[in-house]
Amino acid sequence: MSPAHIVSHNPATVRAPAGGYSMGLEVSQHRRLLFISGQVPETSDGSVPEGFEAQCEQAWCNVIEVLAAAGLGVKHLVKVTTFLTDLSQVVPNRAVRRKMLAGHEPALTVIIAQTVDSKWLLEIEAIAAE
């Protein structure tokens, strides 16, 4: 799907997003929806990088790999939910997300939660449309 089929909605009557996401995305025409399960910061061999930024990049790389397997890219993302394990991760998470999405701004939710494995500092799930 070309980005022309995805329209961002940020009404003036709702507080403007701080950047890096949209309040709502409308998919006016689509042929496929891809629901991406929560991606954790593990490499293909099961190792987990050290530090939050490295883990965040790995989780995003995993999301991007799932997108690619379906013939899609980050521009197809319409909704992303990120589960962080600590409030201090919000700012570095935002920086990594912006880098990985290269200007694309899907609808977004960030939640502080406990992950299933204490080694994982975050988990990212997403929905993409084509």
Give residues with Cβ within 8 angstroms of 41, minimum separation 6: 48, 49, 54, 55, 56, 58, 59, 62, 120, 121, 122
pLDDT digits (tens, 9 = 90+) for 41-63: 999 999 999 999 999 999 999 99
pLDDT for position 1: 40
**In CATH, what number is assigned to the domain containing residue 86?**
3.30.1330.40
Could you tell me which of 81, 89, 86 has the C-alpha nearest to residue 110? 81
pLDDT digits (tens, 9 = 90+) for 108-129: 999 999 999 999 999 999 999 9
Structural domain total, the chain = 1
Structural domain for 10, as ranges: 3-129
pLDDT digits (tens, 9 = 90+) for 57-115: 999 999 999 999 999 999 999 999 999 999 999 999 999 999 999 999 999 999 999 99
